[in-house]
Structure 1
Amino acid sequence: MVLKCVVVLFMFVCIARSLKRGDPCQFNNTAGICKSINDCPFARKILYEDERKPPMCKWEDDLRIVCCPTRDVFHRTGIFKEYFFDSNHGIKRSKDMTCRYNGAQPLLCCRKTTDPEKSPEPSGCPELSRPLLNTDEQHYAWMKCLDYQQYFNKCVSKVNNPHEYTRVDTCGRDTFRIAGGAEANPMEFPHMAVLGCRNVVPTEEDVVWIGGGSLISEKYILTAAHVLMSPTHGVIKFALLGTVNKTDTRNGALYNIVRRIPYPTYQASSLNYDIALVELERRVRFSEFIRPACLPVPGREIESDRIIAGWGETGFRARSELLLTGDSGGPLMALMKNIKCSYSIEGIVSRGPRDCGQGYPGVYTRVTHYLPWILDNVWPELQRKNGENTFQIFKK
């Protein structure tokens, strides 16, 4: 018996040491990818701050090649790691309190508050258009999309009679743009978000913006999974909405990110299943400048052209404005045919050429394939309430 155990242990050690850079790996039931410790903030924190051995793949001379997690597990480090090891992404909730921990002190605990609900429109407002999907069932995500019309088709009192109401179109969409085209209008893409990390370089700005995303509900942004973590600055912690200039934090709405949710089978080495959600600390206050996009539900009617938007470049000139060249995590969009001024998020920018039209294609994650997973995370209460298939909710 002893001899067999020794042989099995020896074989295990040999297999573990055969891993090389870019190989998938696993530790503590957490998926990872083998990379240099210099490219893994999680492993550096374990080694230099917690003074523990990081999960190893191999040694390359004196360089540690570590099993770097593909999702945020910083709550498993630091002084409170034992209390938050099995928590929901470093968040623990009680009846009256919510505590968040990201591996650093101080531990943040806040008394629970109820997000204020938006006041309903006055009863005399003209009805919004309510077109039906081209299917027998009407998806609840479609109903949400229809409700979002009120933020650009605003109900206001008539000038000559304050007790009567009319609707004012505040849609910011201009003429259709081309790849590598022009700057966006302030209200043209109200669902666009820019995502950033806390800058580890103290002499520069506080936030480093590393990718884009699309607001799809009151608290969730859709992005690419590889955007969730920067090799240099760690996990994304901030989302900026409502601005076409990513340096304009004063006029934009800045939100803290409290949860990062990569698709369960995301592979960092190949960028397969490159899709993720991020949860914001509080409900987003919608306006003509900030409004969710629609999800690509079955039976939708969309234009044939596709648009990408992001904080990138036009030509060879770097810009800070929102431009039609595309960022990782940003949307590949189509205009809805029967809902004015609204976009359906058909794809997510994953990888490709830095500039459009360079002779080889960009790669986009197809959102329709992941729709059930998105709905499970964004609107779980609606699925529990209806107790039926997510695509068969509302009958015509």
Structure 2
Amino acid sequence: MALTDTAIRNARPKAKPYKVADSQGLYLLVNPRGSKLWRVKYRIDGVERKLALGSYPEITLAEARTARDAARRQLAHAVDPNAAKRQARIEASVRASNSFATVAEELIEKKGREGIAQATLEKQRWLLKLLGTDFGKRPVADITPQELLHELRKHERRGRLEATKQLRSFASRVFRYAVATARAERDPAQLLLGALTTPRVKHFAAITDPVEFGALLRAVEDYQGDPSVMYALKLTPHVFQRPGELRQMEWAEVNFEKAVWIIPEGKMKMRQPHSVPLSRQALAILTEMRQLSGSGRYAFPSVRTRARPISDNTINAALRRMGYSKEQMTAHGFRTSASSLLNESGKWNPDAIERALAHMVAGSVRRIYNQSAYWRERVEMAQWWSDYLDELREGGNR
């Protein structure tokens, strides 16, 4: 007689396990401690075997019968249900080990071995964290465009358009890596191009008027604060480097005798080592700072610990204290100011200016050429620029 829910509920534990049969090999095993387990009895190659389906009431009678029927269909095609169940477990385990987060971390580690800057790696881990723990646990091969779009929309609705754009781009890199390593068949992020709101391009605020720039230089000269901040702020206009490169300057990178600062490729955005000619004024600033921090690693150590440099936003914070809003001037804006005023002077080859700014030049041959061909001009330009800054600071404008 077929089982009923009432009969199952009324099945009481006994001293020994016993079976309550349903039909077509399905039965309920009632254990002395009260657990009720679904089993299916079947034969394959003349050998009797049992397939575990789960426990009651987690698996209802109807669900147990559905699972039994599925097992019988497998048998009809000469498939052992237990073997199929083990294979499904293995595949689920493989999918779990190939989660989006696992593949992403593997890609980040690979990029680290390839020499990508630590700051870039940290940015990628930050983006992975933004996508969320639940999304990160999803098998990378199972993620649909709709699922990814749902996650991206969360950030878009908060107005974080640039972060949303970066998240889609990061996810696309992870999916492409998964495809390349045979763990996914497509890149769902690629299909979302055009689906998200495009953020407006924001340029770093910068002062390019010579008179206004002179006023800024006077404010810099009068700034009072932590010595690391004061001297980093004074040096910033004289060199054309990104704020992150300057704040991480190490004394081992500076050759005072040859008047050059050699930045290793690991700190450069374009992954190329970069030599910076130092003017007399830049050397004087660094010489004064060396008397204060020369015994440590960093030229501009943090006020909290000499084991770390000043923070990312230190120069911007100093500019705000000086009365310059983020719409007027930023630390990165000094590069824009230098590029604009140097080009306007008409004295220097535009390629030499681009090389001084460490902008990537297309073509490996041309890159090698630019690194050597413009060095003498860059040395002259660095000194001219510092002299020009002195004039602007004193109120002149040539």
Higher relative contact order (CA 8 A, sep 6+): 1
Which structure would you say has the larger Rg?
2
Q: Into which bin does the TM-score normalised by the smaller protein fall?
A: under 0.3
TM-score, normalised by the number of residues in structure 2: 0.23
TM-score, normalised by the number of residues in structure 1: 0.23
